[in-house]
């Protein structure tokens, strides 16, 4: 980055809010004077701050309103005034956008030269409020009540507006709204899915229908005469899916070419595989890559090359390598940059490019640890498990699994097997990355095989497999885990009487649906923070796959995919149900309803709650939950 750094911001007191969001108090340090800036300090509990890409402007959000400083020591100019806790969010995302759309708390975007600042305004006034107790310290006589605007499937959603502020003329800054395309404005039920600055006076927005199979990309230009932004229909590009939803989770980001009007984007091709396409100035799509594999991400676009990550190499969906393809005079054959660097050790890479794409950092995730003497000697006394990645055939599909095998694995022995499941749409659990986690302990210390399997609904193998679960969660992805476990049970080294399953979040849902299926394959299982009924989960995620829970849409499949309806079958298995009481994401309500249904059906089961813990069950509870689950699995497998 060529930007000269003159200031540093130092976070002091940090209070975590949701997965990505926090408030903090900041001090700004001037590197030139080697002292803290003492004039016009930032307020305590600032929700977000962002330096301009050039110069020393600073945008920040406090009390849901946006402020801009020309430089750190001067007074700030207030950009918005209507911010209100849990009602109106300016420049920061509300809960559902943070979790499901942006993957960050930030909802403001500087233009390349900092002449403009774009920001989103979310209005949660109509969004129903989820309430739950927070018990806090034991001296608190009455628990606190957390109130969170949280749109569940079918409920009223936040509405969104996008504004752009001209920052060249403070303190008389004025915001101009860029209105969504006419196709969206009528219903007001749409999402803003991405914001990309092209130049200082050109911005690209992507809007998405509430039913997430249709999106429109618009390119808008600043008009100096009236200070407004124009988004001509000729520069709109629509994207539609006939078989499911758009993108892996949402529409992909565009990467603009040097002409600042044409761009590269990952789209499903005619065969349903995600590939790079060039969208030229007339809106025509020209495929740049093709094949029965997928492009995972575009990493950089230069005048000559596109750099991207894909899973093409060796026909292994669980691999990741960096490629480059020459652009300009028509597509050429892509060249793999990382494939041959260290084939035996490295089959899973990520890359990070400098702003001008002159340099990149290549990260190798394994599947094998780096080979060096210091590490080897450290691990000499530690028996590390090995990993096997292979395929089985189910329902005419070749599907991938992985097994973490105990050290000194002996195929003539019989081992207990734990199926570690997630199985959400576009998930991938069988891959070539190296990890040390609970499975490492179970395999090495307890001699348990830990397997994972990617069935229908899983990602990066084309839309046919991924969209198989469209509008019917809780069906094929559940059936395929059972079928895979049956196949594993037939392997000579697996003890078919000692097979267990566990999962967290979506994995907890699938675990519960599997155990409630009456398959007789599994002896026991653990569900952590599971979904139990899709009407309880958030709108953006759930409706992407299930549509709306109304009779005119998909109510029937919502009703037929609950864990509670399967309570009777839990009499045949040992079940451990775990949830945090302060889970803002998958609410404790979901486990509470499973528990009630099991009690009503007179099913004996085990349960553990974690007071005031959220979806991650962290802190002191982290070691507690894994110790507790280890005891349960050992008891199930009759291990000492």
What would the two tokens of residue 367 be?
């599947």
> Is 0.85 topped by the overall pTM?
yes
In sequence order, what DSSP letters do the residues of 89-121 get, joined into one string? EESB--HHHIIIIISSSB-EEE-TTSSEEEEEE
- pLDDT number for residue 370: 60
Q: Is the peptide bond before 171 cis (omega within 30 degrees of 0)?
A: yes
- pLDDT number for residue 523: 99
Range 265-268 contact pairs with CB under 8 angstroms and sequence separation of 24 or more: 266/295, 266/297, 266/298, 267/239, 268/241, 268/463
Q: Give ranges for CATH 2.140.10.30 in the chain.
A: 1-120+160-179+194-240
- pLDDT number for residue 14: 87
- pLDDT number for residue 376: 67
pLDDT tens, residue by residue, 440-485: 999 999 999 999 999 999 999 999 999 999 999 999 999 999 999 9
Of 3.40.50.1820, 3.40.50.2300, 3.40.50.2020, 3.30.70.20, which CATH number belongs to 382-636? 3.40.50.1820
pLDDT below 70 — which residues of the chain?
A: 1-5, 170-172, 330-331, 369-372, 376, 378-381
What would the two tokens of residue 496 be?
């078919």
- pLDDT number for residue 170: 63
Q: Give ranges for CATH 3.40.50.1820 in the chain.
A: 382-636
DSSP state of 454: -
What would the two tokens of residue 199 be?
């130049």
In sequence order, what DSSP letters do the residues of 540-580 get, joined into one string? HHHHHHH--SSTTTTHHHHHTT-SGGGGGGGGGSEEEEEEE
pLDDT tens, residue by residue, 493-531: 999 999 999 999 999 999 999 999 999 999 999 999 999
Report residue 556: phi and psi, to 5°: -55, -45
Q: Which residues are catalytic?
A: 505, 583, 615
DSSP state of 346: B
Under a CB-based contact definition with an 8 Å cutoff, are residues 201 and 209 in contact?
A: no
Sign of the Cα pseudo-torsion (424, 430, 436, 442, in order): positive
- pLDDT number for residue 2: 41
Q: Can you tell me which residue has the tokens 């084309």?
A: 462
Measured CA to CA, the distance from residue 30 to residue 37 in angstroms comes to 6
- pLDDT number for residue 369: 63
How far is C-alpha 419 from the geometric centre of its chain's CA atoms?
22
Q: What is the CATH number of domain 1-120+160-179+194-240?
A: 2.140.10.30
Q: Which of 93, 138, 140 is nearest to 120 (CA)?
A: 93
Under a CB-based contact definition with an 8 Å cutoff, are residues 317 and 293 in contact?
A: yes
């Amino acid at each position: 980055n060529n930007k000269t750094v003159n200031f540093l911001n130092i976070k002091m007191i940090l209070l975590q809010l949701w997965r990505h969001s926090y408030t903090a108090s900041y001090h700004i340090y001037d590197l030139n004077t080697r002292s803290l800036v003492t004039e016009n300090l930032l307020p305590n509990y600032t929700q977000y701050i962002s330096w301009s890409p050039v110069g020393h402007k600073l945008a920040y959000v406090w009390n849901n309103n946006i402020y801009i400083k020309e430089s750190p020591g001067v007074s700030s100019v207030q950009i918005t005034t209507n911010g209100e806790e849990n009602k109106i969010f300016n420049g920061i995302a509300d809960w559902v956008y943070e979790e499901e759309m942006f993957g960050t708390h930030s909802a403001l975007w500087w233009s390349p030269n900092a002449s403009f600042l774009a920001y989103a305004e979310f209005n949660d006034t109509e969004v129903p409020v989820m309430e739950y107790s927070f018990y806090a310290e034991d001296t608190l006589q009455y628990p606190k009540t957390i109130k969170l605007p949280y749109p569940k499937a079918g409920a009223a959603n936040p509405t969104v507006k996008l504004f752009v502020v001209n920052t060249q003329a403070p303190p008389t800054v004025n915001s101009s709204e860029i209105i969504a395309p006419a196709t969206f404005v009528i219903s007001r039920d749409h999402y803003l899915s991405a914001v990309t600055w092209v130049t200082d006076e050109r911005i690209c927005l992507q809007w998405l229908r509430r039913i997430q199979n249709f999106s429109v990309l618009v390119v808008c230009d600043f008009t100096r005469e009236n200070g407004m932004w124009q988004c001509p229909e000729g520069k709109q590009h629509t994207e539609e899916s006939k078989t499911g939803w758009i993108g892996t989770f949402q529409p992909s980001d565009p990467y603009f070419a040097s002409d600042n009007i044409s761009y590269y984007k990952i789209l499903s091709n005619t065969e349903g595989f995600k590939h790079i396409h060039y969208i030229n100035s007339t809106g025509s799509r020209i495929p740049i890559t093709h094949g029965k594999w997928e492009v995972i991400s575009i990493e950089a676009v230069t005048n000559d090359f596109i750099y991207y990550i894909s899973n093409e190499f060796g026909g292994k969906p669980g691999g990741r390598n960096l490629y480059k393809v020459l652009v300009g005079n028509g597509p050429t054959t892509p060249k793999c940059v990382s494939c041959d660097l260290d084939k035996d050790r490295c089959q899973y890479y990520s890359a990070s490019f400098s702003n001008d794409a002159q340099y990149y950092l290549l990260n190798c995730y394994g599947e094998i640890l780096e080979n060096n003497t210091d590490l080897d000697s450290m691990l000499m006394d530690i028996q590390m498990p090995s990993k096997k990645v292979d395929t089985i055939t189910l329902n005419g599909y070749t599907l991938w699994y992985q097994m973490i095998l105990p050290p000194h694995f002996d195929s003539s022995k019989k081992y207990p097997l734990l199926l570690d499941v997630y199985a959400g749409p576009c998930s991938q659990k069988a891959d070539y990355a190296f990890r040390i986690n609970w499975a490492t302990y179970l395999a090495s210390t307890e001699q348990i095989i830990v397997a994972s399997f990617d069935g229908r609904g899983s990602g990066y193998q084309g839309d046919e497999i991924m969209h198989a679960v469209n509008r019917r969660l809780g069906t094929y992805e559940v059936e395929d885990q059972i079928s895979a476990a049956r196949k594993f049970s037939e392997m000579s080294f697996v003890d078919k009487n000692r097979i267990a399953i566990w999962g967290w979040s979506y994995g907890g849902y699938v675990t519960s649906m599997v155990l409630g299926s009456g398959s007789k394959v599994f002896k026991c299982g653990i569900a952590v923070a599971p979904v139990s009924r899709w009407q309880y989960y958030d709108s953006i995620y759930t409706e992407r796959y299930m549509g709306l829970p109304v009779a005119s849409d998909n109510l029937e499949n919502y009703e037929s995919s609950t864990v509670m309806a399967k309570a009777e079958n839990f009499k045949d298995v040992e079940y451990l149900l775990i949830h945090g009481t302060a889970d803002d994401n998958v609410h404790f309500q979901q486990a509470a309803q499973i528990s009630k249904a099991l009690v009503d059906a007179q099913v004996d089961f085990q349960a553990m709650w974690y007071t005031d813990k959220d979806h991650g069950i962290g802190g002191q509870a982290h070691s507690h939950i894994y110790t507790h689950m280890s005891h349960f699995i050992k008891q199930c497998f009759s291990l000492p």
